[in-house]
Amino acid sequence: ALLDELTATDLGLSPSHLPAAPAIGYQHIYEDQDLSVGIFMLPKGTSIPLHDHPQMTVLSKLLFGKLDVVSFDMPSDHAQVQGRHKLDEFGLLKGRHPRKLHCGPCKREVLEAPAPTEWLHPLQGNIHQFTALEDCAILDILTPPYEDAAGRSCHYYKVMEPAAIEASSIDEHRGRPFCSVDDEGEVDLVEVAWPIDLQIVQRRYKGPSVK
């Protein structure tokens, strides 16, 4: 309930702090071994493509703006952490093929601030995509945080057409991941490398300190 009442002003944030598109801003607020807190700032028309949150719970509070949210549930047979692996230069785990997930229909909602806090669970809604319909700011609280060494690496995905499901080369899927919200049935997602047009820039957090 307290998070629902939080405003951009409480965090010292205004639309003037957003970077110029196509960049997406990120203000890091706090992190320890149990949680990570930060703010994503999305100029109108920018997107954070489909990505997952392995074994994590995430609270997302839209502070201002209008946001299109598309999500998939994580299949239960892919929900476990992966153990220790090294990442290659494309942000993919070395020594394995790209992950492929068979998911139920995607879910879509449009949020407009002020809006209730969104919850994401280890299974429910764990894979999602944000697209800014207006300039937006989103407070994200992740517990536990991403941690490659603990098997909680972030993976990006693309919705695959049936004929492309068996493609083996990750370089064939380096375009921006997307979700076709017209699909009413089950879909297959394939892991892709860090999207080449996803630009996230660090911005200094100027709000109240968190301890």
Residues facing 190 on adjacent strands? 100, 158
pLDDT, position 164: 40
Q: Which residue has the tokens 């702090």?
A: 17
Written as six digits, the tokens of 11 are 């965090």
Q: Using CA atoms, how far apart are residues 206 and 4, in angstroms rounded to an integer? A: 21
Higher-pLDDT residue of 190, 81: 190
pLDDT, position 70: 94
pLDDT at 66 over 50: yes
pLDDT one-digit tens code per residue, 114-133: 999 999 999 999 999 999 99
Three-state SS letters, the chain: CCHHHCCCHHHCCCHHHCCCCCCEEEEEEEECCCCEEEEEEECCCCEEEEECCCCCEEEEEEEECEEEEEEECCCHHHCCCCCCCCECCCCCECCCCCCEEEECCCEEEEEECCCCCEEECCCCCCEEEEEECCCEEEEEEEECCCEHHHCECCCEEEECCHHHCCCCCHHHHCCCCCCCCCCCCCEEEEEECCCCCCCEEEECCCCCCCC
Mean pLDDT of 52-69: 96
pLDDT at 136 over 50: yes
pLDDT, position 11: 94
